[in-house]
Amino acid sequence: MPVAPFAPEPALAHGTPARTAVLLVNLGTPDEPTASALRRYLREFLSDPRVVEIPRIVWWPILHGIILNTRPAKSAAKYATVWTAEGSPLAVWTAKQTTLLQGYLGERGLRPPQLLLRHAMRYGNPSVASVLDELKAQNATRILILPLYPQYAAATTASVNDAVMAWAMQQRRQPELRFVQRYHDDVGYIRALVQRVRSHWQINGRGDKLVFSFHGVPERSLLLGDPYHCECHKTARLLAEGLGLKRDEWLVTFQSRFGKAKWLEPYTEPTLIGLAQQGVTRVDVMCPGFTSDCLETLEEIAQEARDAFLGAGGRGFEYIPALNDQHEWIAALAGIAMQHLQGWEIVPADESLLETQRSRAAAMGSKS
């Protein structure tokens, strides 16, 4: 028997209501802080050509011969320092954001079962494909893809789009799809960042400098036209304006450099060391591009960067947490979702597709 080119369609009863769905997508996390779990996660992550733009013939021996044999144990040890009783911080916060967003959208009249809300991970579990399968089985005929990356980058946002479209290529009956590409300058998102900083300052006081640390990408991506660098700077500028900061009171840096290639500069840790050596006694560091606390914020910044700054002579280091479950952030996320859902009618929970069609036909007949 020849292999069917498409995945089998789910069995749906006649008259099953069509539904609209919102799918939040975050980067991903290993299932546990162990070397074996990290090896699986890193294999998937670092095999993505959006993440590593090196020819496979060159990259494959490095990945499978060196990195996957040396890096998993080191990364697992780092994850262990931030792992919680609930699990990976990124997974925990993403799940909480999904639950809260369901409530915020419900207050605006968008409730299950007519609106479905789920989350997935680009790498790891739950996978994008598995959650899309679940949504399709519930007759989600319209799906809004909302990555939890405020700034667009080919390595993040575009990679999510790739995963969704790879799934869609296997579907005989494809749902309508919409993609949120960016919200780096969204008013609600900026307002949430401003409130996060102000709340932190009210409790902990204010440092001499406010450092906005964004995840880095190779400089080559900027030269090839990726807008990420510019969108990070715009977010930082709008945030600084919202806080009423003078230009010499804040700066932008980039973290998480990987490999020997030149990445976006200035680098976060060397910059913090330089500030301490210049006599800056206290800094506050925030990571606006991370909407959930994770390894890169809790270990790389709150631990490693802190130790580097204090070791170079600094006296005070404050990490300002990510947006996580902050009210202003979930409200902003609801606003972004609502904006992109416009024009997609959501069927009331007590009406089937057939009943809706009949009511429309009756309404048209009364007008004629």
Task: State the DSSP string of 234-295.
Answer: HHHHHHHHHHT--GGGEEEEEE---SSS-BSSSBHHHHHHHHHHTT--EEEEE-TT-SS--H
Separation between Cα atoms, residue 160 and residue 112, nearest integer Å = 25
25 and 163: one domain? yes
Question: Taking 90 as the threshold, does the pLDDT of residue 170 lie above it?
Answer: yes
Residues 211 and 295 in one domain: yes
**Can you give the CATH number for the domain in which 154 is found?**
3.40.50.1400
Length of the chain: 368
Mean pLDDT of the chain: 93
Q: In this structure, are 218 and 173 located in the same domain?
A: no
Residue 51 resides in a domain:
no
The answer to whether position 316 is within a domain reads: yes
Position 259 confidence tier, pLDDT thresholds 50, 70, 90: confident
Q: How confident is the model at residue 361 (pLDDT cuts 50, 70, 90)?
A: very low
Mean pLDDT over residues 354-358, rounded? 44
pLDDT in tens, 266-276: 999 999 999 99
Asked whether residue 351 carries a pLDDT value surpassing 60, the answer given is no
At a CB cut-off of 8 Å and minimum separation 6, what does 55 contact?
none
The answer on 209 and 101 residing in a single domain is no
User: Based on the domain organization, do 204 and 299 belong to the same domain?
Assistant: yes
* Judgement on whether residues 156 and 297 belong to the same structural domain of the protein: no
For 317, counting Cβ atoms within 10 Å of its Cβ (0-12 exposed, 13-18 middle, 19+ buried), the class is: buried
Task: Answer yes or no: is 66 within a domain.
Answer: no
Is residue 365 a part of any domain in this protein? no
CA–CA gap between residue 102 and residue 115 (Å, rounded): 9
Say which residue, 260 or 327, is predicted with more confidence: 327
pLDDT at 266: 98
pLDDT above 70: residue 104: yes
Q: Within this chain, do residues 170 and 290 fall inside the same structural domain, yes or no?
A: no
Q: Are residues 341 and 302 in the same domain?
A: no
Map residue 144 onto helix, strand or coil.
strand
3-state secondary structure of 139: coil
Query: For residue 73, is it within any domain?
Result: no
Whether residue 38 is contained in a domain is answered as: no
User: Do 128 and 192 lie in a common domain?
Assistant: no
Residue-level pLDDT at 368:
42
In a shared domain, residues 165 and 195:
no
User: Which residue blocks in the chain are alpha helix, DSSP H?
Assistant: 35-46, 56-62, 68-80, 89-107, 128-137, 159-168, 187-204, 219-223, 228-243, 268-277, 295-298, 306-311, 327-341, 353-367
Same domain? For 167 and 305 the reply is no
**Domain limits at 105?**
19-32+83-182+327-353
Is 53 inside any structural domain? no
Structural domain total, the chain: 2
Lowest mean pLDDT of 24-28, 105-109, 180-184, 222-226, name the range: 105-109
Contacts of 317 (CB under 8 A, 6+ apart): 282, 283, 285, 305, 306, 309, 310
Strands 316-320 and 250-255: unpaired
Q: Does the pLDDT at position 15 exceed 70?
A: yes
26 in the same domain as 157: yes
Residue 52 lies in a domain: no
> What is the mean pLDDT of the segment spanning 162-170?
98
